[in-house]
Structure formats: C-alpha cells, structure tokens
Amino acid sequence: MSKVIRVRYKKRVLKSLEPLDLTECEKAEIIIRKVPCLIICCSSS
C-alpha cells in the first residue's frame, strides 16, 4: 500500500496532515487551484 502525506500552507504556517489515500491527494490538488494553498504529496510503496 502506498502512503500519501499532504502538507497544506495556511496562514503562513506549514501543517502536516495525517496520511491520506491517492484519491484524497488528487482532490487536494484540485482544491489548491481554487484556494491559495501549497499541497505536497509524497507517495511511497
């Protein structure tokens, strides 16, 4: 199983969220286009 770590940049503070699925990560990438947030996804098998 691959784990995804999502980091969102909000209020000039980096917050690390719990590991999410790849599907959740894809949704996050769509949100970054609507909301100014930096999202980093790292997948590891």
Q: Please state whether the predicted TM-score (pTM) of the whole model is above 0.95.
A: no
Q: Output the pLDDT for position 1.
A: 39
**Mean per-residue pLDDT, 29-38:** 54
Contact 4, 37 (CB under 8 A): no
Confidence of residue 33 (pLDDT cuts 50, 70, 90): low
**Mean per-residue pLDDT, 33-37:** 54
**Mean per-residue pLDDT, 1-8:** 49
Contact 42, 2 (CB under 8 A): no
Contact 43, 11 (CB under 8 A): no
Q: Which residues pair with 6 in a beta bridge?
A: 41
Q: Is the pLDDT of residue 39 over 50?
A: yes
